[in-house]
């Protein structure tokens, strides 16, 4: 379920966060296969045209920040309550976005918006004509500060001309474009059953934005896009308009039937259903008469000898077809039409479409999170299932309270990177889970039914197949890390890489949530000589009724701590006999105590400690866990520091570790790559050096040999000139 969006009130901290990022890139994700990863879209949107456009951009990997009115949000949120009390319209058009509520009449909120736009790639708006210009958000006003910005304005009639200021609802635009002149029957005009003008405008906006991004890649400059709903609909009316060219009579309104081809339309069947059939040539007409209607003489009837005659005599022909179909069920009619090689379709009601066998066979349904639980959603046409399914965002609340000790927003530049509402509970689809199970060599058929046993097995398979590594900070053109679930899936599952603590633990949390586990993220302080600031993350998983006594237990689950990492869940218990594990190469435990940096000695935290095998080896503290939920925005800041500070271990050093399973499947050791050396420790034996790497080629081969990580040529070039590169010079 989507959680409320918690906007960081420390605006100055968020400002520093944004300022460290390159222009037009809030969300850098070099590992993702999604085409728009790294593109940030800010959208002042409502109703359907702009929201549909930006939803498709989000589906393709863009980060979409939806700006809404405080308190009420997009009025489409209240169109209906058909999806478990939520708006069907909003569920469809607004998944995968971030929500940010701003009062654009307030100078402080408008400053926040303008700062976001200065760093964005695309601004989309479908406000009342002229409203964005009055806010200082026109293309001309913005391009001086952000020359790469693409601005897409969507309106009913365009930015100029005599109709530019007119209200433009979907049905009004359909009327102006002549759509109602060709829909309905000869006695009554009928509107199209969906918001066709809005949808057309949204799709043309989407296509033009993609084109503008390609153009910007060539020129380096942004551009303005002016989308008119009227022009979109007139484009789609091209055939009937040319049909009436030069004063020719318009096509007849023929209800659900084709106006100029017959029979091409709906026909009722004997069991209350309906079918749609369509003839395209005379051969099919003969087949219809002989093989479907069983009236061979009809094929020679002069009244129906050509398509033009069949159109002219459609009422008589319709009666003949209806009498024949009334003797058959829908399934029988469809079977006869198939046998005769005549195009046909069942006329489905909406509930039939949810169960459509073709969509099921192609696995085109996924699930998305909403405030009322998970609901099905169609995977975007043309896209595969290898992506995370994000939530429909709750309305976010933007607070103006500055951080204590900092000047108010009006006295300093304040920006914010709105956190991702859906990223609090991202989950992977069933198809993605199957791919993950194949990646860790743990097919679903082998999964135990007991929840703790399943969690234990998943963690063991994860740490023995997915390496803990810092490669993206060295072997990458971008040398940045991403916590986006789609990027993590692409990196870990699709490409077979690993990740550092926040990457693999965030990824593992998405897997566990998709499997129904309850968990939270927690930050940790690593002890490396001294207790550092928060520089690690773990998951705390709660499992209910683990012993049949209606109890719930909490477990520390960490798949991202390298050679000293746990290989199984550890109970968060103050009983030392319970909160521990022992494997052939490592012993681990969790204690609850104070640490030496606490200013209040009464504080107690969970401390993860390890020791080598054997009773004589002493336990050493590895990290302490802050037992409070950490949110995506907290980890974004931790991630930024961990992956960019030049003194950080991950930045200075190429590091990779992978735990090793024995013949019985239990973890018995670890293989470690540190700088230019591959080491291995199995059981209680001493650590042995497997290889000393003399060149970058050696290290690349070792990564594939020991960790299954294959680097592209571009990634290999990324390390050139870094201190971590293996050269003739010593480290």
Average pLDDT over residues 59-68: 89
Angle at Cα 471 formed by Cα 470 and Cα 474, nearest 5°?
A: 105
Contacts of 601 (CB under 8 A, 6+ apart): 594
Among residues 714, 704, 118, the alpha carbon closest in space to that of 415 is found at: 118
* Residue-wise pLDDT tens digits, 411-465: 222 233 333 333 345 568 888 888 999 999 999 999 999 999 999 999 999 999 9
CA distance linking residue 483 with residue 27, whole number of Å: 9
Token pair 């990290």 in the structure block, residue:
623
CA distance linking residue 610 with residue 556, whole number of Å: 14
> Strand 667-674 and strand 655-661: pairing?
antiparallel
CA distance linking residue 65 with residue 46, whole number of Å: 13
Residue 269, helix vs strand vs coil: coil
Residues in the chain, total: 731
Q: Residue 507, class by beta-carbon neighbours within 10 Å (0-12 exposed, 13-18 middle, 19+ buried)? A: buried
CA distance linking residue 364 with residue 381, whole number of Å: 9
Per-range mean pLDDT, top range of 439-453, 475-489, 534-548, 603-617 = 439-453
CA distance linking residue 293 with residue 286, whole number of Å: 10
In this prediction, residue 385 carries a pLDDT of 60
Higher pLDDT, 121 or 370: 121
Q: Residues 36-251: name the CATH superfamily.
A: Crotonobetainyl-coa:carnitine coa-transferase; domain 1 (3.40.50.10540)
Among residues 637, 117, 632, 628, the alpha carbon closest in space to that of 422 is found at: 632
Joined together, the tokens standing for residue 332 give 């029988």
DSSP H or E segment with residue 713: helix 713-717
- Residue ranges of alpha helices (H) inside 377-478 are 430-439, 451-465
Among the residue ranges 319-323, 493-497, 549-553, the one predicted with the least confidence is 549-553
Say if residues 700 and 676 touch (Cβ distance below 8 Å). no
Angle at Cα 470 formed by Cα 15 and Cα 659, nearest 5°?
A: 135
Q: C-alpha 9: how far from its chain's center?
A: 26
Average pLDDT over residues 298-305: 92
In this prediction, residue 549 carries a pLDDT of 46
Mean pLDDT, the chain, integer: 81
Paired with 520 in beta bridges are: 540
Joined together, the tokens standing for residue 315 give 């009422």
| For the chain, domain boundaries | 36-251, 264-347, 423-717
> Strand 63-68 and strand 98-101: pairing?
parallel
- Residue ranges of alpha helices (H) inside 40-176 are 49-59, 88-93, 107-119, 131-134, 139-142, 170-176
> Strand 122-125 and strand 150-155: pairing?
parallel
Per-range mean pLDDT, top range of 15-19, 71-75, 377-381, 688-692 = 688-692
DSSP H or E segment with residue 707: helix 696-707
* Residue-wise pLDDT tens digits, 402-413: 222 322 322 222
- Tell me the Ramachandran region of residue 663: left when phi exceeds 0, alpha when psi lies from -120 to 50, beta otherwise: alpha
- Tell me the Ramachandran region of residue 90: left when phi exceeds 0, alpha when psi lies from -120 to 50, beta otherwise: alpha
In this prediction, residue 405 carries a pLDDT of 30
Phi–psi pair at 340, nearest 5 degrees: -85, 0
pLDDT tier, 322 (very low <50, low <70, confident <90, very high otherwise):
very high
CA distance linking residue 189 with residue 174, whole number of Å: 12
Average pLDDT over residues 374-397: 68
Contacts of 511 (CB under 8 A, 6+ apart): 428, 433, 436, 458
Among residues 94, 96, 150, 86, the alpha carbon closest in space to that of 120 is found at: 150
Average pLDDT over residues 587-605: 85
CA distance linking residue 484 with residue 510, whole number of Å: 10
CATH code at 264-347: 3.30.1540.10
Among the residue ranges 1-10, 174-183, 513-522, 657-666, the one predicted with the least confidence is 1-10
In this prediction, residue 327 carries a pLDDT of 93
Q: C-alpha 600: how far from its chain's center?
A: 43
CA distance linking residue 652 with residue 237, whole number of Å: 61
Say if residues 706 and 672 touch (Cβ distance below 8 Å). no
CA distance linking residue 135 with residue 125, whole number of Å: 12
C-alpha dihedral (228, 232, 235, 240), degrees to nearest 10: -110
Token pair 């239990």 in the structure block, residue:
666
Higher pLDDT, 547 or 644: 644
Q: Is the pLDDT of residue 399 over 60?
A: no
Spell 644-654 as b/e; 16+ CB within 10 A means b.
eeeeeebbbbb
Say if residues 205 and 266 touch (Cβ distance below 8 Å). no
Q: Is the pLDDT of residue 513 over 80?
A: yes
Say if residues 426 and 489 touch (Cβ distance below 8 Å). no
Joined together, the tokens standing for residue 628 give 């409070």
Residue 513, helix vs strand vs coil: helix
Fold classified for 423-717: Arylamine N-acetyltransferase fold (3.30.2140)
> Strand 552-557 and strand 667-674: pairing?
unpaired
Maximal C-alpha separation, the chain: 104
Joined together, the tokens standing for residue 203 give 């799709």
Joined together, the tokens standing for residue 487 give 């990027």
* Percent of the chain whose pLDDT exceeds 90: 35
Same fold, 36-251 and 264-347: no
- Cis check for the bond before 428: say yes or no (omega within 30 of 0): no
Say if residues 592 and 574 touch (Cβ distance below 8 Å). yes
CA distance linking residue 163 with residue 231, whole number of Å: 12
Q: Is the pLDDT of residue 26 over 80?
A: no
């Amino acid at each position: 379920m989507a959680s409320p969006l918690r906007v960081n009130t420390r605006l100055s901290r968020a400002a520093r966060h944004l300022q460290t990022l390159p222009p037009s890139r809030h969300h850098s994700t070099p590992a993702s296969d999604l085409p728009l990863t790294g593109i940030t879209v800010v959208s002042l949107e409502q109703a359907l045209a702009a929201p549909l456009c930006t939803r498709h951009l989000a589906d393709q990997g863009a980060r979409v920040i939806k700006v809404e009115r405080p308190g009420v949000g997009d009025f489409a949120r209240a169109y209906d309550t058909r999806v478990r009390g939520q708006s069907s319209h909003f569920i469809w058009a607004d998944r995968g976005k971030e929500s940010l509520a701003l009062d654009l009449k307030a100078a402080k909120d408008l400053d926040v918006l303008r700062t976001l736009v200065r760093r964005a790639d695309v601004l989309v708006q479908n406000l009342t004509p002229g409203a964005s210009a009055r806010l200082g958000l026109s293309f001309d006003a913005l391009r001086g500060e952000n020359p790469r910005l693409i601005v897409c304005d969507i309106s009913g009639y365009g930015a100029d001309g005599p109709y530019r200021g007119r209200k433009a609802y979907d049905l009004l635009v359909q009327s102006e474009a002549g759509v109602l002149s060709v829909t309905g029957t000869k006695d009554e005009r009928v509107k199209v059953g969906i918001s066709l003008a809005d949808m057309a405008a949204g799709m043309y906006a989407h296509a033009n934005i993609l084109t503008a991004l390609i153009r910007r890649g060539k020129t380096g400059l942004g551009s303005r896009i002016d989308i008119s709903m009227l022009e979109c609909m007139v484009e789609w009316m091209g055939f009937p308009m040319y049909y009436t060219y030069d004063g020719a009579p318009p096509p007849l309104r023929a209800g659900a039937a084709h106006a100029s081809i017959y029979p091409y339309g709906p026909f009722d069947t004997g069991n209350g259903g309906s079918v749609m059939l369509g003839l395209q040539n005379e051969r099919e007409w003969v087949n219809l008469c002989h093989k479907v209607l069983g009236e061979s003489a009809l094929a020679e009837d002069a009244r129906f000898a050509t398509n033009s005659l069949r159109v002219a005599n459609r009422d008589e022909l319709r009666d003949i077809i209806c009498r024949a179909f009334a003797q058959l069920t829908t399934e029988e009619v469809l079977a006869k039409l198939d046998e005769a090689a005549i195009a046909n379709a069942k006329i489905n009601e909406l509930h039939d479409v949810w169960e459509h066998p073709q969509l099921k066979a192609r696995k085109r349904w996924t699930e998305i999170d909403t405030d009322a639980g998970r609901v099905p959603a169609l995977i975007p046409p043309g896209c595969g299932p290898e992506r995370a399914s994000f939530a429909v965002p709750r309305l976010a609340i933007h607070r103006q309270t500055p951080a204590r000790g900092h000047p108010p927003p009006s006295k300093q530049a304040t920006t914010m990177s709105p956190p991702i509402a859906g990223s609090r509970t991202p989950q992977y689809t069933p198809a993605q889970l199957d791919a993950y199970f194949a990646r860790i060599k743990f097919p679903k058929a082998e999964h135990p039914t007991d929840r703790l046993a399943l969690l234990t097995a998943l963690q063991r398979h994860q740490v023995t197949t997915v390496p803990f590594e810092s490669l993206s900070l060295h072997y990458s053109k971008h040398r940045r890390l991403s916590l986006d679930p789609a990027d993590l899936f692409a990196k870990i599952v699709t490409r077979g890489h690993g990740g550092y603590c926040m990457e693999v633990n965030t990824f593992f949390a998405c897997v566990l949530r998709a499997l129904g586990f309850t968990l939270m993220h927690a930050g940790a302080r690593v002890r490396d000589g001294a207790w550092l600031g928060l520089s690690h993350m773990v998951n705390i998983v709660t499992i209910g009724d683990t012993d049949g006594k209606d109890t719930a237990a909490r477990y520390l689950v960490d798949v991202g701590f390298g050679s000293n990492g746990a290989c199984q869940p550890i109970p968060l218990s103050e009983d030392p006999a319970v909160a521990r594990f022992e494997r052939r190469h490592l012993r681990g435990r969790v204690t609850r105590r104070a640490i030496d940096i606490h200013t209040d000695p009464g504080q107690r935290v969970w401390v993860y400690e390890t020791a080598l095998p054997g009773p004589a080896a002493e336990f050493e503290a590895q990290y302490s866990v802050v037992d409070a939920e950490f949110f995506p925005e907290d980890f974004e800041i931790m991630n930024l520091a961990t992956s960019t500070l030049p003194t950080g271990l991950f930045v200075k050093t190429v590091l990779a570790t992978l735990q090793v399973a024995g013949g019985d499947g239990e973890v018995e050791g670890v293989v470690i790559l540190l700088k230019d050396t591959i080491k291995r420790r199995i059981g209680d034996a001493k650590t042995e050096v497997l290889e000393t790497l003399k060149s970058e080629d050696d290290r690349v081969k070792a990564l594939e040999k020991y960790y299954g990580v294959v680097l592209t040529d571009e990634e290999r070039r990324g390390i050139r000139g870094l201190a971590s590169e293996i050269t003739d010079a010593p480290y």
